[in-house]
Amino acid sequence: MEIIIKINIAKMKEDIKAKVELQKFYKNQKKTVHIIGERKMEASQAWYKHFTNREDLRMLYATYGIARGKTFQQIERRYDSHNEHPLNKYQKTIDRILEGYKYLEEVEAVI
């Protein structure tokens, strides 16, 4: 038996979808006039949560791209150089998120 490290892409996609739904909710709650449905929180609190959730989503999308074998330029195409890419300063955060989605799987060794 051999143990390999795998990344749970399905769980990562579920987490991204959940955060996207939250982002839609916060965006709606930020509106001060013509709100659809009932207001569940203050507009200032919704603005802050929308802002922090946007940064979390950016990191999750970057982590998903790295897990799929893409470079930073392929993830966010509006930046040219890899050395000056803005995601470089978030590399530790991306690695930490990626560690959370790793799991071990036992497979039989093929000879």
pTM: 0.81
For residue 34, the model assigns a pLDDT of 60
For residue 20, the model assigns a pLDDT of 96
For residue 44, the model assigns a pLDDT of 85
Domain borders along the chain are 2-107
Q: What is the pLDDT along the chain (111 residues), one digit of tens a residue?
A: 788 888 999 999 999 999 999 999 898 888 766 666 677 788 888 899 999 999 999 999 999 999 999 988 888 887 766 668 888 889 999 999 999 999 888 888 777
The upper half-sphere exposure of residue 52, i.e. CA atoms within 13 Å in the direction of its Cβ, equals 5
For residue 36, the model assigns a pLDDT of 62
Residue 39 CA to residue 24 CA, distance in Å, equals 14
Q: How far is CA 2 from CA 67, 71, 96, 100, 106, in A?
A: 21, 29, 25, 21, 6
